[in-house]
A and B are shown apart, each in its own frame.
Chain A
Amino acid sequence: MTTAPETSRRQKREAAASANAKNADRRNGNGKKRTNRAKSEARLGWLIAGPAFFIMLAVTAYPIAQAVYDSLFSFRLTAPDERSFVFLQNYQTILSDWDVFWSALGVTVLVTVVTVAVELVLGFGLALVMHKALLRIRGALRTAILVPYGIITVVSAFAWYYMFDINSGFVNSWFGWVPGIDSDLDWFANFPTAITVIMASEIWKTTPFIALLLLAGLAQVPDELVEASKVDGASWRQQMTRVILPNMKAAIMVAVLFRALDAFRIFDNVFIMTNGAANTEVLSLLAYRTSIGRLEIGLGSAVSVILFACVLLICVIAIKFFKVDLASGTDAKGGK
């Protein structure tokens, strides 16, 4: 869709183009020279976006480059004189460590897959509820659903920890009637129970985020299409799978991508609840423990770089293979 001022601008531009064939060439990408107008537009673009662009470079690209550089050294903060260049040896150490690195990567992937899948289902349900809710309670309902998302992750991690903690928690006594739960169950002592609590806390906290993104997607589905399918006699299930979901694909993919990236970097819940005990270590925690705890800047940077590479990989897979269009609905969309 184009707005009125945009349309008039384009008309003017087209008028100018017909007067000058070279201009037309430029707009098709064939021209060598740029008009003054194009130049000043480009300059304005840089003036507007430039500061943000350079600040982004300074605060993201520079630290990333520094981490990549550091990862090539054997460098311990408390032994500054023994710093030495080891090229890719840190990566070799990490990638050949099945007990620590691959285990942490496995746990991270498990958490990502399970939480995103569960959140998608729950979030879609919540989005439907919010979408269909009566106007009178809509505001209150949306606020209520968003409350967990507004809570600081560390705070929610502590809340969940104390809920399940064998010494201070109430879960064991409230749910003692459930088979397998009794007053002697230490949730954080074994992997299956510990990871369940960690994932439950993660799901509870971030489902509202997915629900919100999906709600935006639901709102984009044209009512006429749904009504037309109803008139054609489509069942609720058919309306969902044939009309609503296909029209929401972009929103769903964006939600999945954002949450997957987020879930892959999980840190707070694990740090607070088990600090990596019971084999619940994840990649972010490993990076933290290596760089900050052990003060091994080289090795820790290498873990961080690998973590970053994994995140990039998820992005590439999502964008190339699942065709997530992050720019849908904006002018930046290719070909417009």
Chain B
Amino acid sequence: MGQSQGSPRRGRTVRAAGTALAAAILLSGCSDTEDVPVLTWYINPDDGGQATLAQLCTEEAEGAYTIQTSLLPADAPSQREQLARRLAANDSSLDIMSLDPPFIPELAEPGFLAPVPEDVAERTTEDTLEGALAGAMWDDELVTVPFWANTQLLWYRESVVEEAGLDMEEPVTWDQVIETALEQDKLLGVQGIRAESMTVWLNALVESQDESILANPEAPAADLQTNLDTEPGSRAAEIIGTIGSEGLAGPGVASMDENQSMLLFQRDQGSFMVNWPFVWAATNAAAEEGAVESELVEDIGWAQYPRVDEDTASAPPLGGINLAVGADSENQELAFEAIECIVTPENQTEYFITNGNPPSSEAAYDDPALEDDFPMADAIREALENAAPRPQTPFYNEISTAIQQQFTPIAGVDAEQTPTQTDAFIVEVLRGERLL
């Protein structure tokens, strides 16, 4: 319209320039968006470490791919729900997923996860700590790549063990822990809330007696057999029940999760606590802010997870995050390339220092920089060697929920009845004979 007022010649020039510009935009648009595949990495919430790694590996890929992170819900069960729904619906955007180990079999069994290529498996698990490696497998095959691994330590107050005359260089048993708390009228930091942490605790107690909650974890639902109604199961129930009925976890035990038990441990009545290593960074931060007294940090010690039997090494809980590729992803090869970049030992060390999540690779612990921030790094590495995964079955969610329902409130746990009832309950639920 404006052209009608100008000369025809000028009109042509303008049009030609416009065409050139449009072509330039189109061409550059192509090279920016279509040539470089975008890998979506579904991450669990952390302190920004995974986003940093995504950026780092995007840069290292030099245009081969771009990693974009997408945040999953805060708690592990909700992450599982969302991933399972997307995977079941053949969502092709699930290029890389951060998975909590107990839910791996459930997603691997129906073929929702792309198989890890042999060469990638070899390179990424060269020096993976034993416990972490066990958690990455299903059906004797590596179905995910271990990224970071988590485990619990026994945290204690130096003042308390000194008074009790305990030698913390030697392994400690649950009986000693309970006795000390009773004698000194102190409280224990355990997780009594009806949540995943209940299964974590029970599993560690059972595994510490060289027994497993499931006799045949790879069996189909109808044939699964539980092992709680055994001597080890009843011993585990006795420990949980005693702590509950003696009120050793304080009046708020029914809502005590990992964070609340840390807060309890920080108080004057704190004595021992079983918890993940995040408590160290969190307590230090609280001391710096003045939320807790600075002497508190000096008073905190750590040891291996308590034993059940004096003579059997403890099997601490295993947690962490593994990386998997969705079976419907259109960029599987690139995704595994990106995973290899993400899980290098150097990146794991960096992630530990910045986000407080311990590496699954043994070599990642060799960095001397760890000593300052995480003086317990060696203890964590040792615990990860002995750590035992939770029951590895596609029906883990059912088993865990049943355990949570039966073992809470912990004051009601009875060494005779609870394991028997839980066994029967789990079997009935798995056979579809009753609701959960």
> Contacts A100-B435, A186-B254 known; A293 to B394 CB distance under 8 Å?
no
A312, CB-defined interface residue at 8 Å = no
Q: In the bound complex, do residue A77 and residue B394 qualify as a contact, i.e. CB atoms below 8 Å apart?
A: no
Q: In the bound complex, do residue A167 and residue B435 qualify as a contact, i.e. CB atoms below 8 Å apart?
A: no
CB-contact partner of B88 in A78, A184, A303, under 8 A: A78
A residues 178-216 near B (Cβ < 8 Å) are 183-186, 188-189
Stretch at the interface among A115-123, A124-132, A284-292: A284-292
| Closest chain B residue, CB of each to CB of A275 | B194
User: A212 vs B218: C-alpha distance in the bound complex, in angstroms?
Assistant: 58
Prevailing SS type, chain A contact patch:
loop
User: How close is A78's CB to chain B, nearest CB, in angstroms?
Assistant: 5
Q: In the bound complex, do residue A79 and residue B394 qualify as a contact, i.e. CB atoms below 8 Å apart?
A: yes
Q: In the bound complex, do residue B409 and residue A189 qualify as a contact, i.e. CB atoms below 8 Å apart?
A: yes
A34, CB-defined interface residue at 8 Å = no
Q: In the bound complex, do residue B401 and residue A294 qualify as a contact, i.e. CB atoms below 8 Å apart?
A: yes
| Closest chain A residue, CB of each to CB of B220 | A82
B252, CB-defined interface residue at 8 Å = yes
Q: In the bound complex, do residue A286 and residue B109 qualify as a contact, i.e. CB atoms below 8 Å apart?
A: no
> Contacts A78-B112, A100-B434, A167-B263 known; A293 to B77 CB distance under 8 Å?
yes
A278, CB-defined interface residue at 8 Å = yes
Q: In the bound complex, do residue A93 and residue B81 qualify as a contact, i.e. CB atoms below 8 Å apart?
A: no
User: A184 vs B251: C-alpha distance in the bound complex, in angstroms?
Assistant: 5
Q: In the bound complex, do residue A293 and residue B435 qualify as a contact, i.e. CB atoms below 8 Å apart?
A: no
A247, CB-defined interface residue at 8 Å = no
Q: In the bound complex, do residue B255 and residue A81 qualify as a contact, i.e. CB atoms below 8 Å apart?
A: no
- Chain B residues within 8 Å of A240, by CB: none
- Chain A residues within 8 Å of B253, by CB: 186, 189
A165, CB-defined interface residue at 8 Å = yes
Q: In the bound complex, do residue A78 and residue B434 qualify as a contact, i.e. CB atoms below 8 Å apart?
A: no
- Chain A residues within 8 Å of B299, by CB: none
A residues 270-307 near B (Cβ < 8 Å) are 275, 277-278, 286, 289-290, 292-295, 299, 303
B370, CB-defined interface residue at 8 Å = no
Q: In the bound complex, do residue B436 and residue A289 qualify as a contact, i.e. CB atoms below 8 Å apart?
A: yes
User: A33 vs B140: C-alpha distance in the bound complex, in angstroms?
Assistant: 77
CB-contact partner of A295 in B84, B109, B255, under 8 A: B84
B residues 80-125 near A (Cβ < 8 Å) are 81, 84-85, 88, 106-107, 109-110, 112
- Chain A residues within 8 Å of B216, by CB: none
> Contacts A93-B434, A93-B435, A294-B397 known; A78 to B109 CB distance under 8 Å?
yes
Q: How many residues of A contact B (CB 8 A)?
A: 35
- Chain A residues within 8 Å of B194, by CB: 275, 277
User: A94 vs B434: C-alpha distance in the bound complex, in angstroms?
Assistant: 7
Q: In the bound complex, do residue B251 and residue A78 qualify as a contact, i.e. CB atoms below 8 Å apart?
A: no
CB-contact partner of A278 in B81, B251, B254, B263, under 8 A: B254
User: A77 vs B409: C-alpha distance in the bound complex, in angstroms?
Assistant: 31
Q: In the bound complex, do residue A186 and residue B252 qualify as a contact, i.e. CB atoms below 8 Å apart?
A: yes
User: A78 vs B107: C-alpha distance in the bound complex, in angstroms?
Assistant: 7
> Contacts A80-B88, A166-B252, A277-B254 known; A295 to B81 CB distance under 8 Å?
yes
B11, CB-defined interface residue at 8 Å = no
CB-contact partner of B435 in A101, A278, A292, A295, under 8 A: A101
A97, CB-defined interface residue at 8 Å = yes
| Closest chain A residue, CB of each to CB of B397 | A294
B398, CB-defined interface residue at 8 Å = yes
20 contacting pairs across A/B (C-beta < 8 A): A77-B85, A78-B88, A78-B106, A78-B109, A79-B394, A94-B435, A96-B434, A100-B435, A101-B435, A166-B255, A167-B252, A167-B260, A189-B254, A275-B194, A278-B254, A290-B435, A293-B397, A293-B401, A294-B401, A295-B84
Which A residues are within 8 Å of any B CB, using their own CB? 74, 77-81, 89, 93-94, 96-97, 99-101, 165-167, 183-186, 188-189, 275, 277-278, 286, 289-290, 292-295, 299, 303
Which B residues are within 8 Å of any A CB, using their own CB? 77, 81, 84-85, 88, 106-107, 109-110, 112, 194, 251-255, 260, 263, 394, 397-398, 401, 408-409, 432-436
A77-B84, A303-B435 given; 8 more Cβ-contact pairs under 8 Å: A78-B106, A94-B435, A186-B252, A275-B194, A277-B254, A290-B436, A293-B397, A295-B397
Of all A-B residue pairs in the complex, the 7 with the closest CB atoms, nearest first, are: A189-B254, A184-B251, A100-B435, A166-B252, A277-B194, A77-B88, A97-B435
